[in-house]
Structure 1
């Protein structure tokens, strides 16, 4: 047991003392991680990380097909990204021929845009589309991921694209407009 605290001689206050009190509970053990998955559903897969790109250089140029380029062999990505997003939105709103996008996109992206499906906000009205702030992230050398905000009729819409350096220029390999 502890003795009652004595008053301090000069101030008349009691001194503060620390007392360790044993708890009757067992020691804490690490709990397993909580699973935030509904019963009957599978566990979500981890987010894929970009891996290394195929080799480039003189040895790769001897082969047929597209050659992947590094950042040093490509023009500034910001200018190309803004032009691509603007042209894609103008093509979807009907202000520009879709064929003008073909040199900037891969076959798959161009085919998807040619299929005729487009967001409802692109099809309605004839107000111009204004591309706002553009963000660029380069996860791997020769790859750029773009996000932008497009404004039309007082509303904001998200645009995302992936550009890869192919044959000395940036080409859009994925485009998502929301």
Structure 2
């Protein structure tokens, strides 16, 4: 029983890429040359642009008070730091992270004027916090009244702290 082998047949390799879609040329004026029998149609990318704005996604994120350090202790520390910056004893860059741009501008301006006056007189102020009173009008807001001794005077400092990006930020400041 002898079998004869059929001759070897060579076939081209199959194509693994889909056929291209012809695009209209400038001369065709934007008319499509595709016919209804074209098998490939590209769908639109599903993106929801109305879901959230860039500010909501990448802007400052609200942080609740229970996720942050004790506001009474923190208000005492930042109040002393702010007063020292306003007297020109401490550089303003040390409080930049903990203040809004508006508060920082006021504190830095006051500090630069005080530093110029201090270099001529040579006297430095000593600041000491006596008491801190705290009120929480909202879950991410704390208002603090800080009583401090500034040189030979007793002064009051009112702060509005807001929870942003997992830290307290001074949003408003009034010194009396």
**TM-score scaled by length of structure 1:** 0.59
Deviation at 1:154, TM superposition (A): 2.8
Alignment partner, residue 66 of structure 2: 72
CA distance in 1, matches of 2:113, 2:138: 30
Compute the displacement of 1:117 (Å): 7.1
Larger radius of gyration: 2
Gapped runs of 5+ residues in structure 1?
1-58
The 2-side partners of 1:90 and 1:106 are apart by 18
Structure 1 segments (4+ residues) deviating >4 Å:
59-62, 117-120
Larger helix fraction of residues: 2
Aligned length: 118
CA distance in 2: counterparts of 1:131 and 1:90, whole angstroms: 12
1:91 aligned partner: 85
Please, what is the CA RMSD of the aligned residues?
2.6
- Structure 2: 5+ residue stretches without partners: 1-51
Note the C-alpha offset of 1:100: 0.1
Q: Write the distance in 1 (CA, Å) between the matches of 2:153 and 2:93.
A: 27
Q: Secondary structure at the match of 2:97?
A: helix
TM-score, length-normalised on structure 2? 0.59
